[in-house]
Amino acid sequence: MKQDEQQPRKISQIIFRATTAVILIFYIVIINIIIIGEFFVPTNYTTTTTAPRTTQQDRSLLLRLGHQVTVLQTIPHDSNAWTQGLVTAADGLTTLYEGTGLYGESNLRKINVTTGQIVQQSATLPEQYFGEGIAFYTDDNNNSRIIQLTWKEKTGFIYDRDTLTQVSTFSFSTKRNQGWGITVRKNTFIVSDGSRVLHIWDKSTLREIKRVRVGQFFPFPQAVPLLNELEYDPNSDTLLANVLGTKRIVRIDPETGRVLAQYNLRPLYTKLTEQYSNVGALNGIALVPGTEDQYWVTGKWWPEMYKVELPYRRNRK
């Protein structure tokens, strides 16, 4: 008797819970699409001319992209470069440094930011090493250095900045035992390994001090895995990261791992793939010194590199 009474109530409870779950999932998916903008290409976006572009022309080419990504300038980029690291030298606006990947093709390049030309190149790493992220820093003896990670080889290389020759090697481990991106913040390196975890290393010892897990908290808590190339921006004390498998760049609070802003670069990628084949993943972010919120961005085998504005409202942090 008692069981018979409870039966309909149980069924209606199940229906209620299922409906709630469906509405919740629907909400999460819709909000995610709106917020992340992954699948959103603005309708007012127009493809530009396929003619070779000059710096002058590009100054007037202000493409308002989704999430307010503005292209300020376009320069050529080596379409054979599997970009894994991109940094600007602290000494000015004239050169960029790039680290490339792939076995047997990994090296460092110094690039003229006016022409996009490679003006200096390091020796290619031995075939067993797949080059990954690079960072530019000054060591304890005030030497200008470049640090480079490798993908699965658990080995890193230190180079003299001026000659691009190796001065030492080191071994490292991460959560996934891989090296992806690296950047310098104060007296630390921040290292990504394709997980959601950022590894904070002491700059002098290259030992891990702590880990920071990256996630977005709005509109609901969600981990952000596949963190790739990194760029620390001292102007706002924030960290920019490529996210593999997406066309977005996230801006992260390096202390808490909270995602503070996201930028949708899909329109840029779409335009590029309309003009060129063999365009790989978006990867590579380098701060333009002396500016706020301007960065060089490119990708693996991209024939072009872009100076973009990734605006950030500082009061949001």
Ligand X SMILES: *[C@@H]1O[C@H](CO)[C@@H](O)[C@H](O)[C@H]1NC(C)=O
In the complex, which residues of this chain contact ligand X (CB under 6 A)? 94-95, 112, 114-115, 119, 142
End-to-end CA distance of the chain: 60
Tell me the closest approach of the beta carbon of residue 112 to ligand X, in angstroms. 4
CB neighbourhood size of 175 (10 A): 17
- Burial class for 253, CB neighbours closer than 10 Å (0-12, 13-18, 19+): middle
Which one, 55 or 155, has the nearer CB to ligand X? Answer: 55
Among 235, 234, 250, 236, CA closest to 192: 250
Among 211, 201, 196, CA closest to 250: 196
Q: % helix / strand / coil in the chain, to the nearest 5?
A: 20, 40, 45
Which one, 80 or 115, has the nearer CB to ligand X? Answer: 115
Report yes or no: 200 and 187 within 8 Å, Cβ to Cβ. Answer: no
Round to whole Å and give the CA distance between 16 and 200: 46
Tell me the closest approach of the beta carbon of residue 95 to ligand X, in angstroms. 5
122, containing H or E segment: none
Which one, 44 or 141, has the nearer CB to ligand X? Answer: 141
Strand partners, 85: 99
Tell me the closest approach of the beta carbon of residue 139 to ligand X, in angstroms. 10
Strand partners, 296: 286, 307
Tell me the closest approach of the beta carbon of residue 115 to ligand X, in angstroms. 5
Which one, 7 or 142, has the nearer CB to ligand X? Answer: 142
Tell me the closest approach of the beta carbon of residue 79 to ligand X, in angstroms. 20
Tell me the closest approach of the beta carbon of residue 304 to ligand X, in angstroms. 17
Round to whole Å and give the CA distance between 101 and 181: 12
Which one, 115 or 278, has the nearer CB to ligand X? Answer: 115
Helices (H) and strands (E) counted in the chain, each on its own, are 3, 22
Which one, 145 or 317, has the nearer CB to ligand X? Answer: 145
Tell me the closest approach of the beta carbon of residue 73 to ligand X, in angstroms. 14
Round to whole Å and give the CA distance between 281 and 243: 10
Which one, 89 or 197, has the nearer CB to ligand X? Answer: 89
- Written as six digits, the tokens of 145 are 């250095």
Spell out the alpha helix ranges (H) of the chain.
2-36, 55-60, 266-275
Report yes or no: 181 and 241 within 8 Å, Cβ to Cβ. Answer: yes
Which one, 110 or 251, has the nearer CB to ligand X? Answer: 110
Tell me the closest approach of the beta carbon of residue 78 to ligand X, in angstroms. 15
